Structure 1
Amino acid sequence: MTESLLDNVRISFDAGSLLVMNMVLGLVMFGVALEISFKDFKGLWEKPKSLLIGLCSQFVLLPAVTFFLVLFIEPMPSIALGMFMVAACPGGNISNFISYLAKANTALSVSLTAFATLLAIVMTPLNFNFWSTLYAPSSTLVQEISIDPFEMFRLVGLLLGGPLLLGMYINCLRPNVAVKIAKALKVSSLWFFIFLIVIALYNNRILFKDYILYVFWIVLIHNLIAFSTGYSVAKLFRLSVKDCKSITIETGIQNSGLGLLLIFTFFDGLGGMALLAAFWGVWHIISGLLLATFWSFAPVQKKNIA
């Protein structure tokens, strides 16, 4: 395999499929927002420490740690871009469900999802552009493609901000109806989104077969470091066991669906980026469920970590 091949190849994904992916991601975020109420934002004043630490872990520490990981392993430039994109995205839409299974602080998880989704409108494009241009090999690729940062801000705002506000508004008017719709919508849209990823990978199965082992180990290490970063910073600030679990999950479960959509929109499905984000989208579900299963059998301590 040659580095130049993966850095120049484009994953096949036509305009119609891209439109469907936009709609599905919007539905996924709408389903998440249906379970978020305006009172969830009050947590910033009621329990600011855990929220601020969680947001810092997601939007400051994870991108920074990813940058140093890239410096250490020196992946192909397009793979590095994929790592920066995933690290710049907010928490994934299944993080609340994983937190529930892990017996974590689900209220904190929901609040972090709400704040992170809102902040991602600015922080995702900002983090991606900052860290990707700081690493010379990936910076060269970004300059060659010449993406428009303001267009990325606009798209992220539409994909996240619109569904978030609409879902919360319906939750405010009809909370019982919103919860019922959310349960069905989140599951169905998530599976449909995974189906789109599988189709994209199948259409490019030769490329996927050639690079899967290379991408697998990078995603596994990156995901493990993301979980470790969330847990370490939460423990460092002596948060409760439940809060530690929630922050760990929110940091390790990233919205790779958003990352994939941005990759197909602005990078024309750049091979390394798309493969890494797609495989992350599959792997973080597996790793999250494994972690939740492990924690679900562990006794929950009510006192703060000593």
Structure 2
Amino acid sequence: MSATSLVILNAVLALMMFGIALSLKAEDFKRVAQKPKGPLVGLVAQFVLLPALTFVAISLISMPAEIALGLLLVSCCPGGSFSNLMTYLANGNTAMSVSMTGIASLLASVLTPLNFMFYASMNAHTDALLKTIDVSTWDMLAIVVLVLAIPLTIGLICGRRFPTFAAKTEQFFRVISLTALLGFVAIALILNWDQFIAGASIYLLFVVAHNALALTLGWASARTLGLPKADRRAVSLEVGLQNSGLGLGIIFTYFAAQTDMAIIAAAWGIWHLISGLSLTFFWQWLDRRQLNSAGTVAK
């Protein structure tokens, strides 16, 4: 991929992050300070438990080092804005989901590269591959700060100073975010289409299993800590629906030759949309069933 293409891709990713921050309000962060239990459970599951369990999985299950790196990178990414919409449709705590997305995106500026490089260096196979690529933690920190931290900061400032502009453009940036994610996925698959088709069953098996782990981890963490149903759904979707667009941006920039990594992140980008919608519809069905049962008992 040419230098110009990389600049464009990272600029689009930065625009996505700007749009996320633009819709955030001071109340979203105050809410976390007032009721920190739910967001804290989600953030620990997101940045501590999921990368750690992914590391255990890639250490115990035999797989190519590139696939292991792809799964590890996705597990270190924050939740995306898609989780907010899915939480709303699932009758979850949407306000908490929005707060978690904002805070997770800010924390990811540091935690995503640090987690990824730490766990990748702990596995002999992935560490050997990293050394051949010659990418450092500082390299990854630089790109994540450029496409994540700076756009988020600018977006927060603009949202606070120009609330009318933020309100009018919120829907536009939601569309941009989803379109950009699908664009990143399409580019990754088109560039590696033959390889994807040749090993589609293996790629999808790893991605589906990994996504199931993330969703289950979010739900189990929230359930274990006694969070109410709406909060459990928000945490589950926040942990289970990763910002794979960020992962693809990092891969295109520093791991362009590792096609398996790009395929894994792209497949994640497709599958987490499917799994998120499926889980949302399932929860909607459960709510209708419970409502109908309550109505029948009342009669």
Q: TM-score, normalised by structure 1?
A: 0.90
Alignment of 1:31-180 (within 5 A): 31-180=19-168
> Of residues 206, 223, 229 in structure 1, which corresponds to 2:211?
223
> Of residues 278, 284, 301 in structure 1, which corresponds to 2:272?
284
Cα distance in 1 for partners of 2:174, 2:229 equals: 27
Q: Deviations over 1:148-183 (max 9, x none)?
A: 211211211121112212222222123233122121
Q: Deviations over 1:20-50 (max 9, x none)?
A: 2111111111111111012211123201111
Cα distance in 2 for partners of 1:269, 1:189 equals: 26
> Of residues 255, 271, 286 in structure 2, which corresponds to 1:298?
286
Q: Deviations over 1:102-159 (max 9, x none)?
A: 1110111011011101111110011001111111111110111121211211211121
Secondary structure of the 1:104 match is coil
How many residues in Structure 1 have an aligned counterpart in Structure 2? 289
Q: Structure 1, unaligned stretches of length 5 or more? A: 1-12, 302-306
Q: Deviations over 1:245-267 (max 9, x none)?
A: 01100100111111111111112
> RMSD over aligned Cα, in angstroms?
1.6
Q: TM-score, normalised by structure 2?
A: 0.92
Q: Which amino acid aligns with 1:197?
A: V
Q: 1:173 to 1:294 in 2, by over 3 A?
A: same
Secondary structure of the 1:299 match is helix
Contact 2:188 2:262 in 1 (8 A): no
Cα distance in 2 for partners of 1:162, 1:201 equals: 29
Structure 1 residue runs of 4+, over 3 Å off? none
Contact 1:234 1:244 in 2 (8 A): yes
* C-alpha deviation, 1:269, in angstroms: 4.0
**Structure with greater helix percent:** 2
Residue 294 of structure 2 aligns with which residue? none
140-149 vs 199-208, which moves further: 199-208
Contact 1:31 1:183 in 2 (8 A): no
Q: 1:233 to 1:196 in 2, by over 3 A?
A: closer
Cα distance in 2 for partners of 1:281, 1:69 equals: 20
